[in-house]
Structure 1
C-alpha cells in the first residue's frame, strides 16, 4: 500500500447510511456527490460508491449488501466501537475503516465519574427516600482515596483514568499489553494482571472494545474475585458482561452496586431481570451523547474526508485484525485511501 492515499479522480460518490442526511456535511457536499441511503437501497448503490459513512451505526444491513466486486474504498462509522460494523467480507477487503475517536472520550469519562460519586454518596437512595418523604440520616463513602481498575487501554479508558484521578481516586489502567512508562497514565497493566488487581478495587470500569478477550469477561468468577461491596460500571460493550451473573452478584451483595449503559440486547427488553436488580442503574446507551454531539461526529468525518481527498494520512484508522484503533495511532501513512 502506498505511503499516501491516491486522491480520487473526478467527483467522488459518498453514501450516507441514514434515513436523513446528517448536519455538518456542507463542505463534503461542495466537492462530492453525497447520497443519503436507507438500508433498503444499500445493496444497489454500494458497488459504485467510493466512500460509505455509516451514520446509523447500529445497522445490521451491511454484510448482506456488501458487493462481491467493487465497493467503497473507505468506510467510516459515526461510533467509537466497530464490533457491530465488522464482518468477514469487509475485513478481507482493501477498504480502509475509520471510526469517530475523539468525540466520546471525555463525555464517557464524565459519566463514569458521575456514577462513582452517585453510588458512593447514595444519591439514588436519597431520591427514593425523598419520594417517600422519609428523613433518614446515614453515612456514605468517601471517593478520594478509593481504588478503581479501568479495563480498556484506549482513549476512553485513558480519559476515565485521568478524570477519576482528578477526584483523588487511585485509578489503574488495564490494557492489552503492559507499558511501563506510558506518557499519559504511567504504568499500564497487561490484561494478565486483571485477576490480581480485582480484589483491591472499589470500582471496576469496563471501557474495553468487544473482542474475543473481552466477550463474557465479567462473569461469576470475576465477580467472586472482586472485593465484597465493590461496584461495576460498564461503558464498553454489553456482551462483555454476563447479565445473569451480574444480577446474582447484586442480589447476594457480592457487588454493592452497578451502572450499565450498554447491554446484550438493546433496547433492554421490558422483561429483563436487570430492571429490578438491586442497586443497579440502567441508562439507555447514552453516556457519550452530549448536546452538539452530532455536529462533532460530522466534523470528524469531514476532516477525514478532506485528508482522503487530498491524499494525506487519515485519522482514526481501525486495525481490522485487532478490532479497534491502536492507542498510539493518530494518523497512519499506511492506512489510507487508494485504488483497489
Structure 2
C-alpha cells in the first residue's frame, strides 16, 4: 500500500477528522482586534478531556437578535451532543447537567451545585466571575473556566465616555428640564467641570475594559494614567501605569476616575473614604466595574460635600439600588442599571467567541480567555 493511500485511509478513520471545524472568520478578526489570549496548554493535554456532551444557554433574546446562533453552535460542536437551555433563568438543573462535561452559560451557584463530576469546562457569558460561588475545591482545581473578558470592552468604554461627557457638559440638568417641558437656560450659568482636553483620567484596572476606556480618553486629548494588579506595562499612549497599591497616591492627580476593576477580596470596598479624601477635589467618579468595589456611603458623603463633582454609575452596591438612596436625586449623578455591556455588537462578539471556544474544546485546542478562578479574573 502506498504512503499516500495509507495517509488517506488514516485521515478517513481518524476521529478528529470527523469533528474538525474551521474557525469562523468573525472569530479570527475579534481575536486579532482585541488581542484575546490563548491558554498555555491545549485541552487535549488534560487527562480528563473526553468531550461528549455540552449544555448551552440560549435564551429567547439570543434567538431574536442572532437567529443562527444555535445552528452555529451545533456546527462548532462537531460530534458532541448539544443540549440547548432556552429557559432564560441561567440556573441549569441536575437533570440537564447529568453526564455533561461542558457548559456555556452563566457561572451560577445553582449550575455549579447541580453539575456532576464530569464537568470539565464552563464558559461564562459574562466578564464578572463573582457569581461563581459555592465552588468545591475539586471544581477549583479541575474545571477549566473561560469568560467574556475584553469582548464587551468597546461597548462599556463608549458607555463610560458617554457618562463622562454628559456630566462634564451638565446634560442631566437639561434632561430634567426637558421632562418638565421647560426651556431652562439657568444651568449654563453654573460652574461646570470644563473641557476634557488636558485633564487627567485615572483608569483603575487596566484590563480589557480599562484599556478601551483609556484609548478613547486619549483620543479626546486627556492625559491617561492607570493602575493594574499584574505589571506596570501599558499602551504607549499611557502617561503612567502603577501597581494597585499606588491607587490613593495617583488619585491626587485625577480629574476623572474610571473604575474598571473585577470584584475580588482585594478590590471589595477599595473606593472608600480614604480614597475619596485622597482624590483631587472636584473630580468625576465613573464606575463600570463592580458595585461592591465602592463603599456607597462614602461616595454619597463625598458627593454631598462637593469633594466629588459628579458620578456616573452603571454598577452600585447594592443592586438594584434602593428607592430611598440619595444617589437617585443628586443633580450630578447618572445611574444606569448595570447595562453598559448591552447592545447587539457586544452580544455578537460574546456569542462568536463562545462558539469559537466550543470549537476549540471539541478539537482539543488551546482555549481563549482563560480565568484563574482562585484570583477571580
* TM-score band, normalised by shorter chain: 0.7 to 0.9
Q: TM-score, normalized by length of structure 2?
A: 0.77
SS state at 2:370 partner: coil
Unaligned stretches of 5+ residues in structure 2? 1-38, 64-68
Please say if 1:132 is aligned against 2:175: no
Corresponding residue number in structure 2 for 1:26: 71
SS state at 2:353 partner: helix
CA distance in 2, matches of 1:293, 1:299: 10
Q: TM-score, normalized by length of structure 1?
A: 0.85
Corresponding residue number in structure 2 for 1:219: 272
CA contact (8 A) 2:291 2:315 kept: yes
Cα RMSD of the aligned pairs, angstroms, is 2.6
Unaligned stretches of 5+ residues in structure 1? 325-340
Instruction: Give a deviation string over 1:216-263, Cα, whole Å, max 9, x none.
Output: 111122111112211110000010011111112111111110011012
Please say if 1:6 is aligned against 2:54: no
How far did residue 155 of structure 1 move?
A: 0.9
How far did residue 186 of structure 1 move?
A: 6.6
Please say if 1:244 is aligned against 2:294: no
CA contact (8 A) 1:43 1:66 kept: yes
Stretch deviating more after TM superposition (86-95 or 44-53): 86-95
Pairing 1:23-172 to 2, within 5 Å after superposition = 23=63, 24-30=69-75, 31=78, 32-37=80-85, 38=87, 42-55=93-106, 59-67=108-116, 70-89=117-136, 91-130=139-178, 131-136=181-186, 137-138=188-189, 140=192, 141-172=194-225
Task: Select 2:252's aligned residue among 190, 199, 202.
Answer: 199
Equivalent pairs, count: 319
- Bigger helix fraction: 2
CA distance in 2, matches of 1:66, 1:50: 9
How far did residue 272 of structure 1 move?
A: 3.0
Please identify the structure whose Cα radius of gyration is greater: 2
CA contact (8 A) 1:217 1:240 kept: yes
Corresponding residue number in structure 1 for 2:330: 277
Instruction: Give a deviation string over 1:33-68, Cα, whole Å, max 9, x none.
Output: 22233566522332410111125x6x442343243x
CA distance in 1, matches of 2:50, 2:254: 55
Stretch deviating more after TM superposition (308-317 or 134-143): 134-143
How far did residue 150 of structure 1 move?
A: 0.6
Instruction: Give a deviation string over 1:151-193, Cα, whole Å, max 9, x none.
Output: 0021111111111010011111100144256567474211121
Distance 1:91 1:211, change over 3 A: farther
CA contact (8 A) 1:109 1:159 kept: yes
CA contact (8 A) 1:259 1:282 kept: yes
